[in-house]
Chain A
Amino acid sequence: MTGFLKEFAESRMAAACLALSLLFAACALFAPFIAPMNPYDLRAFSLDDARLPPGSRQVEKGGLFRATLSAREGAAEESEGAATFRLVEEAPGRLLLTVETEGTLGALRILGLPRDASVEGARRHPIRSEWTLADPTAPAAIETGAMTPAVLNLTVEAELPATATDTRFALGTDSYGRDMLSAIIYGIRISFIVGAIGAVGSMAVGSALGLAAAWFGGRVDAAIMRLAGFQLSIPSLMVGLLTLTILGKGVDKILIAIILIQWTVFARTTRSVALAELRSDYVDAARGLRLSAVRINLRHILPNCLPPLLVILTINIASAITLEASLSFLGVGLPLTQPSLGMLIANGYEYMFSNLYWIAIFPGIALMLMVVSINVVGDRLRDMFNPQLKR
């Protein structure tokens, strides 16, 4: 195994791509632990953050807290949300208002004062009875004027400003204010898993049919290979579109579509390799030992077909990912609740020309890197398994 890895790593490019592929695989497996946010959690994002460019900070929403107080017994206290309002009669005709909030107060307004009342260090609205304090953090002194404070009902508005938090959106946000990085990591998870399961499923179906074709020969062989040939004459995206149009959206449906498209490649390869293996003496030996056909196929022939199949598997994972992305981009693939990379690209596509490049470009780059690196790994495996290229 270490020897195999050493040989593999003789191509630096392939080694780098293997590392990258493994990284993507890790993304797929551990997305919830890697992603900074959960893009499925509606509470975790807000429209305030929508379409922020890469590197922006997440904004903590501000708030407006309002309370109506009356210092009937010389003092009053009221809590409203994150703010606590206290009103104390400091001296006759003079009230002191303090507001405690988490975070710094952005603005403090006092409403509903009688005409002759005034607030120290505050500006009155030219028309309404609304006093805005110059320094909202300091306690506000209110001269009640002619009215006794006890009958005074005043309304206080405390405004907390929106503040930037330490959380950054490394790759910006989409039109729903979702962190792109998290969306991409979850997108990779869906794309990769769909691609891998789809390709493995295709291999299982395809190699079983290929083995059957090689073993039985004659009509079975002709039927299976004609079907494969017929199907290969239709563009694979067309097959996918047709299948999904008939079946509808969904992960299971797209897996069926991928298997329907990809089984042919595996069937043809398995058949050709198995035909060569069937001519080997060890198959005759196994038949001479009266082992069952299933046993000979699965235990003897299939393991010898595996090297080329694994190469095709790797490359087909990449093509399954592309296929799923294309179908999702076209809107027939996965449902909205499972946004794969293809759907992220599709979502971002409409913003491409509004200079909001990051919404489509970053999922696109992720998809490209994933497909290219898996393909390079597959090519390297093919070179290694090809004895003619081996020195």
Chain B
Amino acid sequence: MTDRTGPLLQVERLNTSFETRAGTVRSVRDVSFEVGRGEVVGIVGESGSGKSVTGLSILGLIERPGRIVSGAIRFDGEDLVGMSEARMRRMRGARIAMVFQNPMMTLNPVQKIGAQIAEALTEHARLPAREVRARCIRALEAVGIPSPEARMEAYPHEFSGGMRQRIVIAAALVTEPDLIIADEPTTALDVTIQAQIIHQMRRLIDETGAGLIWISHDLATLSELADRIVVMYAGTVVETGTTAEIIGAPRHPYTRQLLASVPSANAPGRPLRQIPGMMPSLLDIGDGCPFASRCERRTEGCARPVPPAVLSETRTVRCLNLPEDRP
């Protein structure tokens, strides 16, 4: 790994849009955040918040009719936007890894898992077969697969859902990437398995010093795993901060209301506090605050673009009418 200073990944004013029959869907608008080495950054948002598109943009996996309209994605000082497809593919193979929600989409059902994990290694580097095997076994061990040597010869269908997701994570880890992007990796898993994987992920990040972007709709898992949290709503980042700041003292009205609406924040049996209305359509959405229509603190200024306000070194909030302190 490089010992350059500065953040591992810097996303700056990223805009990604999709041209559809109906018009332009501005899925990601003016998104900026950073990921440091050995840091877990959680991106939280509901469906349509643009969190997955942000992840795909970093991976260079936005396909027609979508495109990155503007912005910079600096990875280790190098801008990934506009990088050639061939270089980007090498980057994804060697330095940036990804884990998606459904492991069966990633795994080839008719190939032994050992071969699938090895593929990532052999595609970009010439390595002796013994070395490849050793590294695969180490990766499987790291994600907690029992008797990895024997399991190398098994096919994906011989594993349970949780095991499969571990294998996908092992395949992502085997190249010792600097950055891992995981999109809802535990959503389809059971609670106890999810807890195991989160635990292992945290340990791996602490050990390897890689950066991890964990994209999820689930504030609870993120609060247990992430160092910092990026809250997204309707394509924009509404608030960023350390986990303690976001969970303990949310400033943006959306974050506050989101936290207040989860069942565990409400007395059992009582009506949950709910956010009125719906997320606006991203189709030809304007530049004003997207939450304004549902916000009780909105003023006329909210219809104009709202710049992110930097509150501290770790914290930005995109709101004109910040509530003072925790209610």
Cα(A391)–Cα(B21), bound, Å: 10
- Give me the interface of A with B, judged by CB distance under 8 Å: 3, 7, 391
Instruction: Answer whether residue B269 sits at the interface, using C-beta atoms and an 8 A cutoff.
Output: no
Residues from 57 to 91 in B contacting A, C-beta threshold 8 Å: 64-65
The smallest C-beta distance from B17 to any residue of chain A, in angstroms, reads 14
Q: Which residue of A lies closest to B66 (CB)?
A: A391
Kindly list chain A residues whose C-beta atoms are within 8 Å of the C-beta of B65. Answer: 391
**What are 4 pairs between A and B in contact, CB < 8 Å?**
A3-B21, A7-B21, A391-B64, A391-B65
Q: Which residue of B lies closest to A6 (CB)?
A: B21
- 4 closest A-B pairs by beta carbon, nearest first, are A391-B65, A391-B64, A3-B21, A7-B21
Kindly list chain B residues whose C-beta atoms are within 8 Å of the C-beta of A3. Answer: 21
Interface string of B37-72 (1 = CB under 8 A from A): 000000000000000000000000000110000000
Cα(A137)–Cα(B64), bound, Å: 82
Q: Which residue of B lies closest to A7 (CB)?
A: B21
Kindly list chain B residues whose C-beta atoms are within 8 Å of the C-beta of A391. Answer: 64-65
Kindly list chain A residues whose C-beta atoms are within 8 Å of the C-beta of B64. Answer: 391
Cα(A3)–Cα(B64), bound, Å: 21
Cα(A391)–Cα(B18), bound, Å: 10
Cα(A3)–Cα(B65), bound, Å: 18
The smallest C-beta distance from B146 to any residue of chain A, in angstroms, reads 33
Q: Which residue of A lies closest to B22 (CB)?
A: A3
Interface string of B93-115 (1 = CB under 8 A from A): 00000000000000000000000
Kindly list chain B residues whose C-beta atoms are within 8 Å of the C-beta of A7. Answer: 21
Cα(A7)–Cα(B22), bound, Å: 12
Cα(A3)–Cα(B22), bound, Å: 11
Cα(A391)–Cα(B64), bound, Å: 8
The smallest C-beta distance from A9 to any residue of chain B, in angstroms, reads 13
The smallest C-beta distance from B203 to any residue of chain A, in angstroms, reads 38
Interface string of B307-319 (1 = CB under 8 A from A): 0000000000000
The smallest C-beta distance from A215 to any residue of chain B, in angstroms, reads 28
The smallest C-beta distance from A37 to any residue of chain B, in angstroms, reads 48
The smallest C-beta distance from B303 to any residue of chain A, in angstroms, reads 32
Cα(A7)–Cα(B21), bound, Å: 9
Cα(A391)–Cα(B66), bound, Å: 10
The smallest C-beta distance from B53 to any residue of chain A, in angstroms, reads 15
The smallest C-beta distance from B24 to any residue of chain A, in angstroms, reads 14
Q: Which residue of A lies closest to B64 (CB)?
A: A391
Residues from 130 to 174 in B contacting A, C-beta threshold 8 Å: none
Q: Which residue of A lies closest to B63 (CB)?
A: A391
Cα(A7)–Cα(B64), bound, Å: 17
The smallest C-beta distance from B232 to any residue of chain A, in angstroms, reads 24
Cα(A24)–Cα(B21), bound, Å: 32
Kindly list chain A residues whose C-beta atoms are within 8 Å of the C-beta of B21. Answer: 3, 7
Q: Which residue of B lies closest to A3 (CB)?
A: B21
Cα(A7)–Cα(B65), bound, Å: 15
Cα(A3)–Cα(B20), bound, Å: 13
Q: Which residue of B lies closest to A391 (CB)?
A: B65
Cα(A391)–Cα(B19), bound, Å: 10
Interface string of B1-36 (1 = CB under 8 A from A): 000000000000000000001000000000000000
The smallest C-beta distance from A5 to any residue of chain B, in angstroms, reads 13
The smallest C-beta distance from B65 to any residue of chain A, in angstroms, reads 6
The smallest C-beta distance from A335 to any residue of chain B, in angstroms, reads 51
The smallest C-beta distance from A93 to any residue of chain B, in angstroms, reads 99
Cα(A347)–Cα(B131), bound, Å: 75
The smallest C-beta distance from A42 to any residue of chain B, in angstroms, reads 57
Cα(A7)–Cα(B20), bound, Å: 12
Cα(A185)–Cα(B65), bound, Å: 45
The smallest C-beta distance from A4 to any residue of chain B, in angstroms, reads 11
Interface string of B284-323 (1 = CB under 8 A from A): 0000000000000000000000000000000000000000
Cα(A186)–Cα(B65), bound, Å: 47
The smallest C-beta distance from B103 to any residue of chain A, in angstroms, reads 20
Cα(A324)–Cα(B64), bound, Å: 44
The smallest C-beta distance from A251 to any residue of chain B, in angstroms, reads 44
Cα(A234)–Cα(B289), bound, Å: 67
Q: Which residue of A lies closest to B19 (CB)?
A: A391
Q: Which residue of A lies closest to B20 (CB)?
A: A391
Cα(A260)–Cα(B21), bound, Å: 43
Residues from 151 to 206 in B contacting A, C-beta threshold 8 Å: none
The smallest C-beta distance from A145 to any residue of chain B, in angstroms, reads 99
Cα(A289)–Cα(B65), bound, Å: 42
Cα(A100)–Cα(B21), bound, Å: 76
Cα(A391)–Cα(B65), bound, Å: 7
Q: Which residue of A lies closest to B18 (CB)?
A: A391
Cα(A44)–Cα(B65), bound, Å: 61
The smallest C-beta distance from B16 to any residue of chain A, in angstroms, reads 16
The smallest C-beta distance from B314 to any residue of chain A, in angstroms, reads 40
Cα(A254)–Cα(B64), bound, Å: 49
Cα(A17)–Cα(B300), bound, Å: 55
Cα(A242)–Cα(B301), bound, Å: 81
The smallest C-beta distance from A384 to any residue of chain B, in angstroms, reads 13
Cα(A3)–Cα(B21), bound, Å: 10
